[in-house]
Amino acid sequence: MSAEPEPEPAADPAEEGGAPPEMPPAAPGPSGGRRLNLRDWRVTATAAAVVVAVTAGVVAITATGHHGGDRADPAASATPAYTGLPHTAIDVSPSTCGKGWGANGKPHTGTQVFDLHNSGASATEVYLTDPKTGKFYAEVEGLAPGTVREMPVELGSGTYAFECQQEDTDSVTGPTVTVPGNVPQGPASRPVTVHDLIPPTLDYQKWIRARMTELSADTGRLKKDIDGGDLAAARRDWLAGHLVYERMGAAYDTFGDADGVINGTVQLDVDPAHAAGFTGFHAIEYGLWHGRSAASLRGQAATLDNAARKLQKDWATQQMDPANMGLRAHEIIENSEQFELTARTDYGSGTNLATAAANIDGSREILDELAPLLKDRDPGLARLQATLDDAQAYLRTFDKGGTWTPVGKLTRAQREKVDAYFGDMLEQLAPVAAICDVRRTT
């Protein structure tokens, strides 16, 4: 990632002005793509297999944290994390799922803690459900064998049952327990399964395919502008193409190294004018807005156009992980706040607010795909969608005929309003990710 080894002189097309280079190296630019790559977004096997693998990974980590499941049962000596609240010991092995509630005292409303003890042989997921509605009220994932974990809940009046999903076995639902009284129940949602998420993911992939067609048309136009020496047209077409790419926010990780080639940035201590391997929209942006000649940008324009076409071609064989749809809806805006509202990715065009508006398109597209799942799971969905619209409408007031107000030129009141919109959007997007977290319900 550093400047070592010494770059080849030919690796800096911005300064060369000669013939377009070959396709750039597969490695990303000096700092690669700017997007955080916290959660791998690509799948090569079937989606279901990946989900199983992910779950197993979680279990393994948890088991490690508990130093394995073969030690003496620590239930007796566990120090409760929650004090001053009623505790009820619950057994959650497949044969005893839910045992202990109702038998050792009267089920009651209010804040309380279930001490879940996995006396089974394998790790298990535990859910507190309402068997009548199928809604989940609480969950504990990856409870290692032989361990106890506390599940704090606020119970309203109603019917409940524990559901135990041990690895590689069918789900077991314990006895139904009625909590008497007239207290409203707490927040709950029906779980989302990977099967629920496959149709929206496929639709989304289709939408991305259409964006890729747009993208390669735009990069072709940009290349033509630069080849023809029309820099004014190039700046206009650069923005159009970049925004198309930014609208595909949820797919970046799927693009892999291509994202670094198409939309990479350089580290802050690297001069963009002399950054080896710095290619793509931002490299061209730097040239277009720093008085570089059209001739000096020809190589970069070809590189970008080639990468966009290759991306379009490769997309046919890519699969997106359905498990990440909900996460990406909020991660797009998190990235937008982190990199656009700070102008970290500005290489001279001052169009971060345009990018942020395009990112909202990307988040909205995912939400639209997820809407059938969310409409009876997230009571805030309509409000969230309205907030996205309002925020985007406000951002668009900073577009004066294709020239956008740079982030640094916002007045204080404007800046605060933008920040308030993004903060509000992000807080509302967090539940989407939580609700769309894949839960096994078999």
Partner 1 sequence: MTSDTPGREHHGDLGRRGFLRGAAVGVGAVGAVAGGATALTAATASASAPAAPKAAAAPFHGAHQAGITQPVQSASVTVSFDVTAADRRELTELLHTLTERARFLTTGGTPPTVGITDSPSDSGTLGPQVPADGLTATVGVGASLFDGRYGLADRKPLRLTTMPEFPDDDLQPAWCHGDLSLQLSAPHTDTVLHALRDIARHTRGGLQVRWRMDGFSSPSRPSGTPRNHLGFKDGTANPDVADPAVANRLLWAGGGGEPAWTAGGSYQVVRLIRMLVEFWDRVSITEQERMFGRNRDTGAPLDGVHEFDTPKFAQDPMGDVIPLDSHIRMANPRTAATDDSRILRRAYNYDRGMDSNGNLDMGLVFVCYQQDVERQFAAVQKRLAGEPLVDYVAPFGGGYFFALPGVKDRSDWYGSALLA
Contact flag: residue 136 with partner 1 (CB under 8 A): yes
- Residue the block writes with tokens 């290692």: 144
**Is 38 a residue that touches partner 1 (CB under 8 A)?**
no
By beta-carbon proximity to partner 1, the closer residue of 136 and 347 is 136
Contacting residue, 95, 104, 111, 213, with partner 1 by CB under 8 A:
111
CA distance 311 to 224: 19
Helices within 228-289 (DSSP H only): 231-247, 252-255, 257-263, 281-288
Assess 48 for contact with partner 1 (CB under 8 A): no
**181 to 220: interface string for partner 1, x by CB under 8 A:** --xxxxxxx-x-----------------------------
Length of the chain: 442
383 binds partner 1 (CB under 8 A): yes
Q: Residue type at 142?
A: G
Residues 148 and 123 sit within 8 Å (Cβ to Cβ)? no
Contact with partner 1 (CB under 8 A) among 81, 103, 210, 232? 81
Subset of residues 397 to 426 that bind partner 1, contact rule: CB under 8 A: 412-413, 416-417, 419-421, 423-424, 426
Give the C-alpha separation, 190 to 375, whole Å: 11
Residue closer to partner 1 (CB basis): 153 or 366: 153
What residues numbered 249-308 form the site for partner 1, per CB under 8 A? none
CA-CA distance, 126 to 145, in Å (whole number)?
12
Number of residues that bind partner 1 (CB under 8 A): 51
Burial of residue 216 (number of CB atoms within 10 Å: 0-12, 13-18, 19+): buried
For residue 152, the tally of other CB atoms under 10 A from its CB is 13
Tell me how far, at minimum, the Cβ of 191 lies from partner 1, in Å: 7
What is the distance between the terminal CA atoms of the chain, rounded to a whole angstrom? 45
Token readout for 378 is 């997230």
**Which of 15, 139, 257, 314 touches partner 1 (CB under 8 A)?**
139
Positions that interact with partner 1 (CB under 8 A):
81-85, 110-111, 128, 136-139, 152-154, 156, 183-189, 191, 377-380, 383-384, 386-387, 412-413, 416-417, 419-421, 423-424, 426-428, 430-431, 433-435, 437, 439
